[in-house]
Structure 1
Amino acid sequence: MPAQASAPLPDPRWLTVVGIGEDGFGGLGEDARAALERAEALVGGARHLSLVPADAAPHAERHAWPSPMLPFVETIAEWRGRRVVVLASGDPLLYGVAATLLARIAREEVAVLPTVSSFQLACAAMLWPVQETRLVSACGRPLEALALELFDGARVVLLSAGGGTPAEAARLLVSLGFGRSRMTVLERLGAPAQRALSCAAAEMDDHRFDALNVVAIEIVAGPGASRLPRIPGLPDDAFENDGQITRREIRAVTLARLAPAPGALLWDVGAGSGSIGIEWLRAEPDAHAIALEPRADRAERARRNARRLGVPALDVREQAAPEGLAGLPRPDAIFLGGGATGERVVEICWAALKPGGRLVANAVTLETEARLTAARAAYGGDLVRLQATYADAVGRMTGWRPAMPVTQYAVVKP
């Protein structure tokens, strides 16, 4: 007897996130319109909801996002079993609400229907190839991340948080020596009333724009611009510090051993000026870092350094090890600088490190070196003696002055 075809399983995707542009309902595809037709609940910002006619979602209760919005995500999660549509701008997975929802709701329960993003529209307006253009979002994120993209000749699209974002970005550019950069503010992209205004960053002043704007920036370095690479080993004077800093040459070797990777979490224990955590994030902006620094002045200095050098996401905590390590998420890499001297810190860090993770510790004293020697005996790994010697004045002549040698311990957890 021939096998009979089984009935298709019901679609478990009760939540649909629909991207909508300034062209409104008319710009939506058939799948998005069908989702609205079936919807029992429709969620979005007031502007998004106004773009959907009542007869396009005839069965849906309408809910505008409250402020703050995150608690309402929990409410949406409780609607499982109903047909729910959430409206978002453009591509909901590009710095959009879809990522927030997916952190709470299983992927097999969610469908995402994007439309053209503001990033794509901005690149098209500027005739910039998308793959050659950098993207920075100031929506719910620190604007200082823009500093990481400041390379002469770079093209950057900045997603604004409001009408004042272009002026704030201009002030940041001027402060870092990039006041000649060309800024084009694109208002209401995709709408019939869209418009553009261009000027140099130094000429922006405090001009305010429509709240719905995107900024296209052509980076131009001025004579005093801070031209800093992402490759680890920034000059020591790039960091505000009180001398508690891993020197440039040692820092480059340390970061090579730590091996920054996308999504990886670093514990920087005894952060001082924050140089290791900062360079970890500059080398891989999609990584994460938690820096422990017990001294309040140094912790605040590390935060300032992180903001100025384009990685405001560095999580600086005014705590000492080992107490400050309790409850932290498990790391992929750990650096012990000033924190290696604490009682049982090495052992606690080793226990917390994920399999395949890297632990790197630097010592300049015999006491700390002894701890690292004991760690090598217990866990394996490498001990390396590093020393840099610098040319310096000797009277009216020049000679070599050696810095204190550094003993570096590096190990990968099986």
Structure 2
Amino acid sequence: MPDPITVVGIGADGWEALAPAARAAIESAEVLLGSTRQLGLVPTGAARPAGASRVAWPSPLSEALPGLLSEYAGRRICVLASGDPTFHGIGTTLVRLLGADAVHVIPQPSSVSLACARLGWPQDQVQVVSLVTNPVERLHPHLQPGRLLLILSRGAQTPAEVAQLLVARGYGASEFTVLEQLGGPSERIRSAPAASWSEDVDALNVIAVECEGPVLSTAPGLPDDAYENDGQLTKREVRAVTLSRLAPVPGQLLWDVGGGAGSIAIEWSRHHPSCRAIAVERDLDRAKRLERNAATLGASVVIVEGAAPEALDGLEAPDAIFIGGGATAAGMFDACWNVLKPGGRLVANGVTLETESLLADWYKSRGGDLVRLSVQRASAVGTMTGWRPAMPVTIWSVVK
């Protein structure tokens, strides 16, 4: 068996702070891989074998990494990483590619550990959000009153982008702290309300936010006006029941067939950062509107433009499926049922007699649960108040 790749975490404090085992791994490496900044933290004479190479990561790294590993196969490889390599780092990527037995990790304190130490925050009560590869809108589900956020930055511009988003969401009064070059000789920590932040910062930074602002919960059933829509929207009360039947689980994938405004896919994704959703929508304007809603609410939703069931071909098999539109299309149920994973949940809603009849037939053939919801809202009747009923909705749910 070839020697495992060693991944060494190195902080802004550099070579002097490394443990003996970490230094030994670097000194014995025939190939030392890392970013230009990380390689610069290692003294020139540290890698001692004759012909030892220092290789800076190319960009984009994800595409080039398999080729690099193949090029240097058979040589002792040491990879440099920032802080803890298995915390949003290259260590996790290498384990995924090669397996745990082929990777040996020597960690340093992560940027989160250092930030919490400086701020006096309990790590177990902090929500960490990475914007290294994610858009800043991914913060939205995490903005809740009283929450402590640590945000991993992409670069020097990230703090300003985050501050602007906080102000737009009504979180301008939140205490906003930027921690630069943590652990190194140039460490600097500055705080201000998010609304007044306007500082230039080092590219190596972490952002801390003590959230203060309005509630927009991640529980199912956001207000209807949270969505831009043309009326093609699963209403709030029905949406809450529908999502309870879909039962979001971290790491699982939902198909939202007939996405409309995207409310089901979006609220599934907001349940947990690892929840994923694919929304299928045949109307181009609605698909663009769905994309805007997902960005505004910070949800990770892949949008497929096309008519189901044909547009479902080739998609990753789901753990749950919601049929909110097009239930009467020929072959729709079979196309969904056949690819649904065992233990997966299928939920279909209908408001027309034709769809309701079809749901009843599916219920007879597959079992599950069939319910009919009727919602009434108070509204003005002259100078008085009365109840106005919405169209009843039939919901069929079943576990495969």
What TM-score, normalized to structure 2? Answer: 0.96
Which of 146, 164, 179 is residue 171 of structure 1 equivalent to? 164
1:22 paired residue number: 12
Per mean C-alpha deviation after superposition, the further-off stretch among 78-87 and 352-361 is 78-87
Corresponding residue number in structure 1 for 2:26 = 36
SS of 1:141's equivalent?
A: coil
Deviation at 1:369, TM superposition (A): 1.7
Q: Which residue does the alignment assign to 1:126?
A: 119
Partner of 1:239: 227
1:69 corresponds to which letter in structure 2?
L
Taking the aligned partners of 2:344 and 2:20, their CA distance within structure 1 comes to 47
Q: Distance in 1 between matches of 2:66 and 2:253?
A: 27
Are 2:372 and 2:394, in contact at CA under 8 Å, matched by a contact in 1?
yes
After superposition, residues 73-84 of structure 1 pair within 5 angstroms as: 73-78=65-70, 79-84=72-77
Match for residue 346 of structure 2?
Answer: 359
Distance 1:365 1:56, change over 3 A: same
After TM superposition, give the deviation of residue 276 of structure 1 in Å. 0.4
Distance in 1 separating the partners of 2:73 and 2:250: 33
Q: In the alignment, what sits opposite 1:370?
A: 357
Structure 1 residue ranges, 4+ long, deviating more than 6 angstroms after superposition: none
Partner amino acid, structure 1, of 2:158: T
* Contact 1:334-1:360 at 8 Å conserved across structures: yes
1:51 maps to: 41
Task: Provide the rounded CA distance (Å) in 2 between the counterparts of 1:117 and 1:174.
Answer: 29
- Counterpart position of 2:59: 67
Is the Cα–Cα contact under 8 Å of residues 26 and 78 in structure 2 kept in the other structure? Answer: yes
Distance 1:323 1:102, change over 3 A: farther
Counterpart AA for 2:89: G
Match for residue 260 of structure 1?
248
> SS of 2:151's equivalent?
strand
What is the TM-score when the length of structure 1 is the normalising length? 0.93
Structure 1 residue 101: Cα displacement: 2.4
Distance, in Å, in 2 between the alignment partners of 1:167 and 1:359 is 42
Q: CA deviation at 1:30?
A: 2.8
Q: 1:290-338 CA distances to partner (integer Å, 9 max, x unpaired)?
A: 1111112211211221122122x21122222112211111100000001
Deviates more, 1:228-237 or 1:313-322: 313-322
| Structure 1 SS opposite 2:326 | helix
Q: 1:388 aligns with which of 366, 372, 375?
A: 375
Q: Which runs of 5+ in 2 are unaligned?
A: none
Give the equivalent residue in structure 1 for 2:334.
347
- Following superposition of structure 1 onto structure 2, how do residues 213-224 of structure 1 map, counting pairs within 5 Å? 213-221=205-213
Q: Which amino acid aligns with 2:47?
A: A
1:146-168 CA-partner distances (Å, limit 9, x unpaired) = 11111122111111111111111
Q: Where does 1:88-237 land on structure 2 (aligned, <5 Å)?
A: 88-205=81-198, 207-221=199-213, 225=214, 227-237=215-225
Distance 2:176 2:259 in 1: 36
295-304 or 344-353, larger mean C-alpha shift: 295-304
Q: In the alignment, which residue of structure 1 is the partner of 2:281?
A: 293
Partner secondary structure for residue 315 of structure 1: strand
Q: Which residue of 2 aligns with 1:322?
A: 309
**Structure 2 residue aligned with 1:333:** 320
1:91-133 deviation line (CA, Å, top 9, x unaligned): 1121112222233222221122211011111111111111111
Q: Secondary structure at the match of 2:97?
A: coil
RMSD: 1.5
Distance, in Å, in 1 between the alignment partners of 2:19 and 2:67 is 28
Q: CA deviation at 1:13?
A: 4.9
Task: Give the SS at the match of 2:98.
Answer: coil
1:228-270 CA distance string (max 9 Å, x none) = 1111011111111111111111111111101111111000111
1:47 CA drift (Å): 0.5
Cα distance between partner residues in 2 of 1:193 and 1:403: 62
1:412 aligns with 2:399: yes
DSSP-derived class of the 1:177 partner: coil
Q: Which residue identity is paired with 2:78?
A: V
The residue type equivalent to 2:41 in the other structure is: L
* Conserved 8 A contact 2:4-2:101: no
Q: Distance in 2 between matches of 1:84 and 1:319?
A: 47
What is the distance in 2 between the residues matched to 1:179 and 1:361? 41
Residue 289 of structure 1 aligns with an amino acid whose one-letter code is: A
